[in-house]
Structure 1
Amino acid sequence: MRFQSVLASASLLCLATAHAGHRRRSVPSSPEALNPKLTNTIPNAQGGPTLYYNGSGPVPPYDRTSPIPPPLHPLSKQEIEDNIFNELEAIVNGDSLTTKCSKCIAGTEIMHLAAITQPVDVVVNLLIRACEAFPTVKDSISAATCYEEYSGIGGTGPYLAQLFAKMSAATGDMQGWCYFQWDTCSQPPTIAIDESQYFKPKPENKTTAPTPSSSQKRIITARSIKTINVLHLSDWHIDPRYDIGSEGNCTQYLCCRPYSTNTDLSTTSANASIPASRFGSLYCDTPADLALSAFSTMDQFVKRSSINFTIFTGDIVSHDHTDQLSRDYVEYEEKITFETFKAQMGNSPIYPTLGNHDSLPEAYTSPNSISDGDSNGRSNLFSWNYELLANMWSSDGWISRSDASYASTHYGAYATVTSSNLKIISINTDFWYTANIFNYYNMTNPDTSGILTFLADELQKSEDINQRVWIIGHVLSGYDGSNALPNPSALFYSIVRRFSPSTIAGIFFGHTHQDQLMIYYDYLPNSTIATNSSSVLRNTTLVDYSKPLSVGYIGPSITPLSGNNAGWVLLEVDAETFSVVNTQTYFANVSDANSWTTPVWEFEYDTRQVYDPNNTVPANAPLDGPFWHGVTENMLANNTLVEVYNFLETKSSAVTKKCDTKACAEQKVCYIRSGSTTLGNACPQDSGPV
């Protein structure tokens, strides 16, 4: 009405102006028009009320409050749970969200709100109901039932409740969760690394590796340097539940158990298609006799007394389903494993690192900051495990009490110095592992736990005193992009680049059950990003593939699970620089296990003989980044060499898939050259062994 009155007045004004010949004239004010009387001067009809101006008279004041709707009847906990689940169901099955990514993010946001407002048991119940209602969720679990997965023995529901409570869209957590766990969203971009937060710039005098030693001594092969022997063991996966004679070719997971069957062949343990040998089976974890034979046959190839020390790059516990694991079982496995290692290797030190199967639930490791710890006053939900392991390592004389004290409160990580003055830094790589749910909050922080800050600080201390360092971990930082999250693996790559090749003498992983390696390179000059502060931001994807710096060795497994033979590696190491100058791999051909009267271990290959048969590299030169870069160049020129590498990856397994095409060779080389997840993801896909 007000807008119409303005238009009407404007029209009258125009009309008056036109009649006046476009001459403006003033209109005298009416006395009544500005009369301050606050009631109407025009009388209302008889009986009508007096109308007031300016809120006078009985007009209610401005601050008068109005009644609000009465509160709804409080919902019971069950009604709240039902309402939340109904929203989840509407997101999954409804049409309002059209992409899998948007549905996943919306559902995760719902779970976040549930976790910060409701008791843990409500969140657990929601997980169980979602598992039972949505096939995609049910297909992802390893337990026999949804209840057992989330609430039963070893149930993961309470841990997921903690994760959901911590997640935030502000740090890209929901998108990261939906990409890495559910493959429904695109991968979040890798952040630029602010290197100034973690280390100082590389000094000019720390850009080269130390010169090889020159003493005369023979250890494995004759060469003009003094060397020591080091044993590399990985992925033990001892299975005390292994059932001799059971189905070793099962169609479910895990084989070689009393309940294993092959539904395609209608076989059980009573009529197994491939009976599980007491000495091992290609698709099963490690039985006792196979595990012990790795040591009992070792003296055929190298005297255990000549081994200076051993590195064990993780994974002790068998690959059981979630509902078959317990803290008692994990503790039992860890105890008997390190007691066995100690008994077999005597006074030769063993330096272990934690694998993803060395925790409960499997792969779960949380930062100290995520919660208030446990009911016993520990700083971390998983401190019981760190304390157990650190105490065993210290009691066995492998690390000092002070190193063990640090490990018990810092996720099993430690830095120790050998009798030869080599520093070994063991880090818990679950903090970049894709299967660790606690990595899916605050995802734009590449070091929520402080593990990588610890690594950089220890490397800096060693650089300051010209001390050489080995880094040991379990989950590799790169390769095919499936193992590590992009941001922490990018930071690790920057740390390796900063302290290589002067300080870092070796990097060692496990996890894949294969005999592999990764090369780390320098960055391109344009990889730094200008800022308005003193920060140095690094685009870690801009790699100079003409400048190899370091190499990461991925140790073969003792377990033959997934079709790989059992194996271990003997490292020949320069006694002064601690660079690896040669390796020899030994294996047990588990395909023959049913014909053995005892496990048969054999020499498999010598690295220099296979990859440098013409001795083009000096005998005292290390097997470092430049050496292996040269091997990859030869691989690209000669696909036959790729086939050799591909076969040796599996420890000469009879079921090795072929890699005899140019596309497969290029993919294989790309993986070898990818020390971070982002670099691995950039490799050609779907070109691998067939």
Structure 2
Amino acid sequence: MHLKLLYCTVLSLIYGLALGSPAISDSSALADLLESSDKFNDHSVVQAFVEELKAISHSSRNISKCDQCVARLAVGKSLALLRPDLVPPVFTQWCTETQYMSNSTCLSTFSRNTVKSSYTGTNFADMLTLMDPFGYDGQLYCCYKESACSKPKTPDVSLSHKWPAKQTKHKVAPVPSANDTFNVLHLSDFHIELDYTIGAEANCSASMCCTPHSKNTFANLTSHSHKDWNSYYDSHYEGNSLVKGSLIDVFKNDSIWSPATTFGHYECDAPEILINSSLDSIANFSSTNNIDFEFAIFTGDAVDHDELSLTSYEVTVNSEEAVFRDIKNKLGDVPVYSVLGNHDTFPYGELGQENHGFSNYFAWNAELMADLWEDYGWLGSDESQYARKHYTGFSVETSMGLKVISLNSNVWYKKNHYAYWNASQPDTFGQLDFLIDELVESESKDQRVWIIAHIPFSADALPLPAKLFAEVIERFSPYTIANIFFGHTHLDQFEILYSGPGGDAKTIENVVASSWISQAVTPWVENNPSWRYYSVDKKTFSIMNAYNYYTKLNETFTNNGSAPVWEFEYSSREGYNVTWPESAPLNATYWHKVASMVNESVEYNQVYENYAKRFSPYVPDCASTDDCALDYCYLTSFTVDQYDSCVENVKNNK
């Protein structure tokens, strides 16, 4: 019998004995059915495997949800090795008939097709063909993708053999120059909503509101609380000037409770006019204050949060092209160094390893981005070529000598199916190898480095990549790595890395590094749109201050269609009132002092929350709710394991 059929038979025997399942115990018949599937119609094969999956949960023996999940993966792998094209109908039918998830979630989870020209199957089927259901792969998947298993212990692996020993001089950060600085703009998380619809429902039950698909969450509402809101159809920017459109009666439709207004809503992603308003405010600020930006960084997520059934390859491409076009139009000749976010791919969140035959699924995106970035003059031909071939990652040396390393964080994203096979190995994507090689080279030349990515490692990352990234950061900080930048959370945040076992000793002596997590332009969810720029030391490329600007979105609801007012919010050096030398950069030690105050004082915790959400109407009250209880854990955790450990301690000490 063929090896793959033997695998199917063995798995069936194992789970037939373990579960006492009549359907699975007849493994020879199942294998024969697969082997001669050309003699049967596919419907028979699908029905047989659906019954296999049902039998797992309906076994006469009482087995855990975790074991059930692992068993389904094993049966699914036996099918994927032979007929990957049948994995989607089998798992989707099982999922919907057993109501394991909602119908739409079943479809988006198991029947999501890749962008491809010749191969059959889905990302889920691809994962099954390579993963080990019985080992760390299966436990990890069943923990993060189906919440069926406890988090498995993170493998004890290291990358320390890939770099030379740390010399004494590399343990100290270089000293900044005396007030000689330049400026860098930081943008993140635009999430353009191309089908944003003026007057559509913003108080909706779908995953994204303010679109033609929105429906009122509360069908029994009969009166409107926002009669003073006004919306103008077809308002747009011409150059730097707003052209006001026609006033429309958004309440003509009685079913609308909370209408989408011209410049956006707190429960919705950004209409293009809001993105252009943010970019226009930057251009006006730069011109009015005679402040130039040496370059800009964009830390990802151009595409909206629409539910998966409403996204497509075309929407993804159009959204990415629109965002980068708007950035180029407004910022002119300012170089922009970008990363892709979890939404900036199709299907959502997926990225396959190049060295296992999956790169052709996702090459379109790398090629599109590399072409755009090169055409706009943001990357040279060499950097563009590397980005085209390596998950859109690249390194570039700025005109002032700083190296910027761009990483694609989907390689460590917990919703990326391709990250769940061979998951105990340290670097299946090769991206950490790339990062280490670049850092070793820069260290040998005494060159400072910025690292940009989208997803922070304590938020939505898998544990092992987070642990290894922290190991890399600790090795090359503070001498070579000057700063690290993320987006993704939509909040104005930071994170601190501490040395020692697990990074649990959160003392000033153990501070290693910190990262900047940028606020978003999209108001989703319940934030005011915002952007920032940094004052950067010319000698060391350390950040001396950060200046944050925002607009009060709710004021645009009743301003008769006028443009949003973008205003100064706070500076990072002065905003927290920390005693700190003027000549010292805002390094990890500074942020440790801020985090300590947040932990020790409800007042400072409130200040942090005010800045995190940019004084939106939805800022939590830290004095009267538990909504702020985990802030300190987030700010002082750099990895998944560190954050989970901190949260557990908080719960145990309540």
Shorter-chain TM range is 0.7 to 0.9
Give the Cα separation in 1 of the matches to 2:634 and 2:87: 39
Partner Cα distance (2:342, 2:586) in 1 = 28
Q: Does 1:417 align with 2:397?
A: yes
Moved more, 149-158 or 548-557: 149-158
Deviations 1:333-385 (A, max 9, x none): 111211111111111110001101110001100111232x5xxxxx4320011
Tell whether 2:166 aligns with 1:180. Answer: no
Correspondent of 2:214 among 234, 237, 260: 260
Larger Rg: 1
- Give per-residue Cα distances to partners, 1:620-661, cap 9 Å, x unaligned: 211110111111222233221011101211111101222237
CA distance in 2: counterparts of 1:127 and 1:236, whole angstroms: 34
Deviations 1:488-530 (A, max 9, x none): 01000000100111001110000011100101122x2xx4xxx
Matched, 1:349 2:335: yes
1:502-541 to structure 2, matched below 5 A, reads: 502-522=479-499, 524=500, 527=501, 540=502
- For residues 271-328 of structure 1, the C-alpha deviation after alignment (integer angstroms, 9 at most, x for no partner) is 3211101111001010122111112222554438611111000001111222222222
Matched with 2:269 is 285
Match of 1:239 in 2: 193
Secondary structure of the corresponding residue to residue 360 of structure 2: coil
Alignment check: 8 A CA contact 2:108 2:309 kept: no
In the TM superposition, what is the alpha-carbon distance from 1:230 to its structure 2 partner?
A: 0.8
Root-mean-square deviation (CA), in Å? 2.5
CA shift digits 1:5-29 (9 cap, x unpaired): xxxxxxxxxxxxxxxxxxxxxxxxx
Q: CA deviation at 1:542?
A: 5.9
Q: 1: distance between equivalents of 2:166 and 2:304?
A: 42
Residues 439-458 of structure 1 correspond to what in structure 2 (within 5 A)? 439-458=419-438
Helix, strand or coil: the match of 2:515?
Answer: strand
Give me the whole-angstrom Cα distance separating, in 2, the residues matched to 1:196 and 1:687.
Answer: 32
Q: Does 1:612 find its partner at 2:577?
A: yes
C-alpha deviation, 1:100, in angstroms: 0.8
Match of 1:599 among 529, 548, 564: 564
Task: State the shift of 1:668 in Å.
Answer: 1.5
Q: Distance in 2 between matches of 1:278 and 1:667?
A: 35
Aligned equivalent of 1:492, options 430, 450, 469: 469
**Candidates 111, 125, 148, aligned match of 1:161:** 125
Between 78-87 and 550-559, the greater mean CA deviation after superposition: 78-87
Distance across 2 between alignment mates of 1:269 and 1:321: 27
Segment drifting more, 237-246 vs 76-85:
76-85
- Which amino acid in the other structure matches residue 437 of structure 1? H
Could you tell me which residue of structure 2 aligns to residue 88 of structure 1?
53
Equivalent-residue separation in structure 2 for 1:188 and 1:269 (angstroms): 54
Aligned to 1:655: 618
Partner of 2:537: 574
Once the two structures are superposed, the pairs formed by residues 666-681 of structure 1 within 5 Å of their partners are 667-681=630-644
- Give, in whole Å, the separation in 2 of the partners of 1:325 and 1:286: 16
In the superposition, relative to structure 1, how do residues 193 and 661 fare at CA in structure 2: closer, same or farther (>3 Å)? farther
Q: Does 1:316 align with 2:302?
A: yes
Q: Distance in 1 between matches of 2:589 and 2:538?
A: 20
TM-score for the superposition, normalised by structure 2: 0.84
| Partner residue in 1 for 2:70 | 105
In the alignment, structure 1 segments of 5+ residues that lack a partner are 1-67, 215-224, 374-378, 528-539
**2:266 alignment partner AA:** L
> Could you tell me whether the CA contact under 8 Å between 1:127 and 1:157 is conserved in 2?
no
Residue of structure 2 aligned with 1:276, choices 252, 260, 268: 260
Q: Give the distance between the partners of 1:465 and 1:269, measured in 2 at CA.
A: 66
Counterpart for residue 588 of structure 2: 625
Partner of 2:373: 393
Aligned partner of residue 136 in structure 1, secondary structure: coil
Q: What SS is found at the alignment partner of 1:430?
A: helix
CA distance in 1, matches of 2:532, 2:136: 41
1:95 Cα deviation from its structure 2 partner: 3.3
Go from structure 1 to structure 2 and tell me whether the alpha carbon gap of 1:243 and 1:296 turns closer, same or farther (over 3 Å shift). Answer: same
d(CA) in 1 for partners of 2:395, 2:295 = 15
Local SS of the residue matching 2:378: coil
- In 2 relative to 1, CA 264–686 (structure 1 residues): closer, same or farther, beyond 3 Å? farther
Encode CA deviations 1:87-144: one digit per residue, 9 max, x unaligned.
10011233324211111111111111111122x32111112202211223326x45xx
What SS does the aligned partner of 1:415 have? strand
Contact 2:86 2:121 (8 Å CA) reproduced: no
Matched residue, 2:319: 333
Structure with greater proportional helix content? 2
User: Does the residue aligned with 1:562 lie in a helix, a strand or coil?
Assistant: coil
Give the alignment's TM-score, normalised by structure 1: 0.80
8 Å Cα contact 1:444-1:487 kept in structure 2: yes
Between 499-508 and 288-297, the greater mean CA deviation after superposition? 288-297
Q: Which among 398, 403, 406 is matched to residue 386 of structure 2?
A: 406
Cα distance change of structure 1 residues 661 and 670 upon mapping to structure 2, 3 Å threshold: farther
**CA–CA separation in structure 1 for the residues paired with 2:209 and 2:626:** 34
Conserved? CA contact 1:367–1:380, under 8 Å: no
Give the letter aligned to residue 181 of structure 1: K
In the alignment, the residues of structure 1 paired with residue 585 and residue 129 of structure 2 have an alpha-carbon distance, to the nearest angstrom, of 49
Match of 1:589 in 2: 552
Counterpart of 1:174, as a letter, is G
- Listed one character per residue, the Cα deviations across residues 446-497 of structure 1 (whole Å, up to 9, x for unaligned) are 311011111111011100000000000000011xxx5100000100000010
| Letter matched to residue 253 of structure 2 | A
**Cα offset, 1:79, TM superposition:** 2.5
1:360 pairs with one of 331, 346, 358: 346
Structure 1 residue corresponding to 2:205, chosen from 248, 251, 259: 251
Report the CA distance shift for 1:97/1:116 in structure 2 as closer, same or farther (over 3 A). farther
Identify the range of structure 1 (405-414 vs 121-130) with the bigger mean alpha-carbon deviation: 121-130
Evaluate the alpha carbon distance shift between residue 94 and residue 657 of structure 1 in structure 2; reply closer, same or farther with a 3 A threshold: farther
How far apart are the structure 2 equivalents of 1:153 and 1:442?
21
CA offsets, 1:189-223, max 9 Å, x none? Answer: 11223233432232111001101112xxxxxxxxx
Contact 1:541 1:678 in 2 (8 A): no
Please give the secondary structure, in 1, of the residue aligned with 2:175: coil
Distance 2:527 2:650 in 1: 20
* Partner in structure 2 of residue 297 of structure 1: 281
Give yes or no for the alignment of 1:205 onto 2:169: yes
Q: How far apart, CA to CA, are the structure 2 residues paired with 1:196 and 1:594?
A: 54
Contact 2:112 2:347 in 1 (8 A): no
Distance 1:313 1:671 in 2: 19
Secondary structure in 1 matching 2:541: coil
Q: Deviations over 1:560-583 (max 9, x none)?
A: 011111110111111111111111
Q: Tell which deviates more after alignment, 161-170 or 457-466.
A: 161-170
Match among 302, 306, 311 for residue 292 of structure 2: 306
Q: Give the deviation of 1:421 after TM superposition.
A: 0.5
For residue 517 of structure 2, what is the amino acid of its counterpart?
Answer: I
1:543 CA drift (Å): 5.4
Q: Which whole-Å CA distance do the structure 2 matches of 1:188 and 1:201 have between them?
A: 31
- Measured in 1, the distance between the counterparts of 2:416 and 2:303 equals 16
Structure 1 letter corresponding to 2:602: N
| Structure 2 residue identity aligned to 1:341 | I
* Structure 2 CA distance for partners of 1:163 and 1:465, relative to 1, 3 Å: same
